[in-house]
Each structure stands twice: as structure tokens, then as C-alpha cells.
Homo-oligomer: A and B are copies of this chain.
Amino acid sequence: MSSLLEQEIQSQPEVITQLIDKEIHHIEQIIKQLPSFDYIIIAARGSSDHAATYAKYAWGTMAGYPIALAAPSLQTLYQRPPRMNNALIIGISQSGQSPDIVSVLAEGKRQGRPTIAITNDVNSALAATADHVIELHAGQERSVAATKTYTAQVAVMMLFAALMNGDKERITELQRVPGWIAQVLESSSAIARYAERYRYMDECIVVGRGYNYATSFELALKLKELTYVMATAYSSADFRHGPIATVKEGLPTILIMPQGAPYADMLELAHELQERKAELLVLSESQEALALAQTPFALPADIPEWLTPIVSIIPGQLLGLHLTIAKHLEPDAPRGLKKITLTN
């Protein structure tokens, strides 16, 4: 019998289809009802924080809003919340239970600012605190590592980006996402074969930029949680400001580089890393990029760049899954982790 993790990874096309169907009009209504605001504060941790990072780029470019990722400890540790004048406050949490995330929303409400909760549990403390609640409709997530709730959160961020942008064509594009995810899921057995090669990998680097900066962090987190590999994520720009010094011959480097604005920069980095004899794993639909890789992960062609992150995380989830199998680890319950992490 397959693991819960595998079942949840495979369920994503259906989860995203349902989510778009059930929440699109709701999100449209919420946007209409929001009072005016200048910028957005998002509170989130772990995978949810990566969905927030996606929003930082997508809402910035497509709707023009600057995003400040909250430092929840200003409230919880220092009891000195900042003044949130003219901000919209959003909390993202699968469980809706983390006290620090709830505290940021509660403070926003206390200051009279509009608040939105994005969660898989509409009966959670986070949902109870917010003016508006967006449900992920992902069904219970039983595996400890978040997969379907992460892509559902990213889909919500994409719905907001498209609806705030007001371009109907974006919605049409978004509805193709479940099909692209299903297409990548078909490569599961190919990725299982690739995973063998990385059975004894101790550490790796993951690089993405722009919209896929978030993907690099989420992919690294999946590898850390599931396979205990010391995976570190960077944007290609930050990577060049120092950490590139750690690259040595054979270091596995995962490059998330679908076509789009960061592609030329990522391609230049790929060539630099090839010169340094790094082991390249490339996620792209570009033959030119895939040809540079020891291990190529082909993405579907013609995905609009803003939608690539929800598709490009899938090979990462599958790599995590198949590495747990190759290493005889327990995919559903990594050592030392609980499903719900309560941080103050």
C-alpha cells in the first residue's frame, strides 16, 4: 500500500480543481469588500511562509502591493507589535493553530485593520480571529510533510493575484494548473529511478529566483523534513553574494529554471556551476537547460511564468518521497516532527 504522503501528493490535481471551484467567487467578493490599503503584512511559518514568499513576488508584480513578512515574535516575545496603519493583515496556517500566527491577526484586528485567514480548518483559532476566512478544501492532511496544503495555499495566492489584477485571461490560465500538475505526477516512476543516484547525498543546494524563489525554499524544506539532507535554498542573486563559495566538485545543486524573467540569469549560473563541476539537477521545460543537467526534470511546456511555482514544486515532492523509499525512511512521520507545531 502506498504511503499517505504519496496519496496526498497524487491528490493535488483534484484538490486544486475543487479549491478554484469553491473559492473563486468568494475571493472575488472579499477583494470587493476590502477597505483601501497600501501594503500587506503576511504572518506564516514553514511551508505557509513559502506560499507568502510567492505572494511577495506575484502580488508585487501583478497587483502592485508591497508585502512585509511579519516577525511574529515582535508580539509574542517582545509584546511590542508595530503600528499597522494602512496595512491589510493575512495569516496563513494549515492547522490555523500556531499561537504566534494567530497573535499577528488578533493585533491587526485590535488596530482596526482588515484581516484574512487562509487555512485548512475553518474551526481553528486563526479562522475565528479573522474578518474573512479562505478554506483550503484540501481534506485532512495526515502526512507530517505538507504537500497538498502547500499547493492549495499557493493556488489561493494565485487566485488573489489574478483577481486583484482583474485580467480575466489569468483565470483561464489558472484553470489549466491541475492538468499540468497531473502531467508532472506521471513522471513519478522516472523520478524514483533518479532518486537512487542521491541515496547517499548528505547536502545539496537549491536555487530559484523571482516567482520560484519560494519554490526553492519549499523544495529544500521537503528534502530536509523527509530525507534529512542538509538542503539550503537561495535566490541566484543572494547565492552569488557569498554562499557560492561552498560549491565543490560533485555538490548536488537543484536549479529551478522554467522559462521566464530569471531564466537568463539562472542559465548563466548553471554554466558557472558546471565549470565548478557541481552535480546539476535541473527543473525546466527548456532543452538547453535540461541538457546541462546530470539529472533533468522536464516540466510541461508553455506554462505562464506566474503559474510555474505550483507545478515546479511537484518534482521536488516526488524526489523527497522516493528518497525516503530509497533510504528506508518513514515518509509519513519524519523523526522529531509533529503535524502541528505550536510556536509562540
In the complex, the chain B residue whose C-beta lies closest to that of A228 is B246
Q: A70 to chain B: which residues have CB within 8 Å?
A: 66
The CA-CA distance from A261 to B73 in the complex, in Å, is 9
Chain B nearest CB, measured from A215 CB (Å): 14
- Which of B49, B68, B336 is the one whose CB lies under 8 Å from A68? B68
Q: A246 to chain B: which residues have CB within 8 Å?
A: 224, 228-230
Copies in the complex: 2
Q: A202 to chain B: which residues have CB within 8 Å?
A: 202-203
Contact A244 B74 (CB under 8 A): no
Decide yes or no whether A248 CB sits under 8 A from chain B.
yes
CB neighbors of B among A186-234 (8 A): 202-203, 209-210, 213, 221, 224-226, 228-230, 232
Which of the listed residues A61, A71, A242, A248 has the most CB atoms from chain B within 10 Å of its own CB? A242
The CA-CA distance from A246 to B232 in the complex, in Å, is 12
In the complex, the chain B residue whose C-beta lies closest to that of A203 is B230
Contact B221 A45 (CB under 8 A): no
Contact B224 A245 (CB under 8 A): yes
Q: A237 to chain B: which residues have CB within 8 Å?
A: 45, 72-73, 100, 343-344
Chain B nearest CB, measured from A53 CB (Å): 9
Stretch at the interface among A6-14, A78-86, A125-133: A78-86
The CA-CA distance from A334 to B242 in the complex, in Å, is 9
Known contacts A80-B64, A246-B228, A248-B228; A71/B100 CB under 8 A: no
- Could you show 9 A-B contacts with beta carbons less than 8 Å apart? A57-B71, A66-B70, A66-B83, A77-B261, A221-B243, A225-B242, A225-B245, A244-B336, A245-B335
| Chain A residues proximal to chain B, CB less than 8 Å | 38-39, 41, 45-47, 49, 56-57, 60-62, 64-74, 77-78, 80, 82-87, 100, 145, 202-203, 209-210, 213, 221, 224-226, 228-230, 232, 235, 237-238, 240-248, 261-262, 265, 276, 334-337, 341, 343-344
